[in-house]
Amino acid sequence: MKYLQIMRPLHWTKNVFVFAALIFGKQLIGPFDEVFSAVVSAFGAFFCFSLAASAIYIFNDIIDRETDGLHPEKSQRPIAAGAVTVGSAQAVSVLCALAAILGSYFLVRELTIIILIYIGLMVLYSLLLKKMMILDCVTISIGFCLRAIAGAVVVDVFISPWLIICTFAVCLFLAFSKRRSEIAQLRENSEAFRKTLAGYTPELLAHMLDVTSGLAIVCFLLYAMDRRTLDIFGTNNLVYTTPIVLYCVFRFSALIQKGKYSGPVQLIMSDRPFQIGFVLWILACIGIIYADKLGISFGSF
C-alpha cells in the first residue's frame, strides 16, 4: 500500500489531458473498430504518462524528503515519514520509468519520444528549475502540454495551436494556483518549504492568476472561432460554452485564493459545484462537436 501511495495515483487525474484529442478530434463516434482503437490508444497513453509521472513524483519526493517534513500534509508522505526507504523508492521510480518507456514504444513510437522529453524535463525541474521563480510554473505547464500532444499523437489527429496555447495557459493558471494555496496554507513557513515562494506574494499571484485565466479564455475563444474549427466541426458554436468556462475559472480562482484547498487536485476532486460545471462543459462540447452524428440540429443558432 505504501508503495502505491508514493506513486500518487490520485494525481493521475492530471493525465486526463491525453483524452482531449478523443473529443476534439471527433474520435468518439464512428465505425466501432476505429473508435475502439482510438479509445484503447488514448487509455494506453494515459497509463504510460501516469507511470512516467509516478516515476517523477517519487524522484522528487526523494529529493524533497527533508523540506516535505515542514509541510503539514506532505510530512505524512511515506518517504518523508521514513516509511519507505530511499533505496526502495529509487527502485520503484526506475521501474515506473522503464514501464512507461517500454509501454509507449509498443503503443506508438512517437509517444516514446514525448515520454522521454517529459521525463528529462521533469528531472531537470526537480533538480534545478523548481528553484527558479516563474520558470517552475512554466515547466509544469509544458509538461501538461506534452500530455495533450501525446493524446493527439496516439489517435493520429491534428491538434490546433490555439488549443495547445489554451492548455498551456490553463496549466500555468493551475500552477500559480498551487503556489497561491501553498502561501495561504503555510504562511510564515512557506519560504522554508519552497524557496521560490519567497519571490511570490499573494498580490503578485492574484495578478498572475488574472492574466493566465484571461489568456486561457481568449485562446479558447480564438480556437472556437477559428476557420479550421469551423471546417472540422461544421460550426463555431463552441463559443457559446464560454459562460460555463467563466464560471469554472472564477470559482476555482476564488476558492484557491481563500486557501480553502491545499492545491488544484484537491479542489477538483472535492468541490461539487466546480465538478458539475466542468461536466456540463464537457457534455456541451460533445453535443456541439458531434451534433451531426447525434442528430442534433442547432438551426440558424
pLDDT (tens digit, 9 = 90+) per residue, 141-174?
999 899 989 989 998 888 888 888 988 998 898 8
Judge contact between 258 and 184, C-beta under 8 A: yes
The pTM assigned to this predicted structure is: 0.85
The string of pLDDT tens digits covering residues 173-206 is: 888 888 887 777 665 554 545 566 667 777 888 8
Residue 251 three-state SS: helix
Q: Where are the alpha helices (DSSP H) in 85-201?
A: 86-107, 109-127, 135-155, 161-186, 190-193
The string of pLDDT tens digits covering residues 105-144 is: 998 889 999 999 999 999 999 888 888 888 888 999 999 8
From residue 81, alpha-carbon distances to 65, 126, 186, 192 in Å are 8, 20, 19, 18
Q: Phi/psi of residue 231, each to 5°?
A: -65, -40
**Higher local confidence (pLDDT), 213 or 295:** 213
pLDDT at 301 over 60: no
pLDDT at 3 over 60: yes
pLDDT band for 218, please (50, 70, 90 cuts). Answer: very high
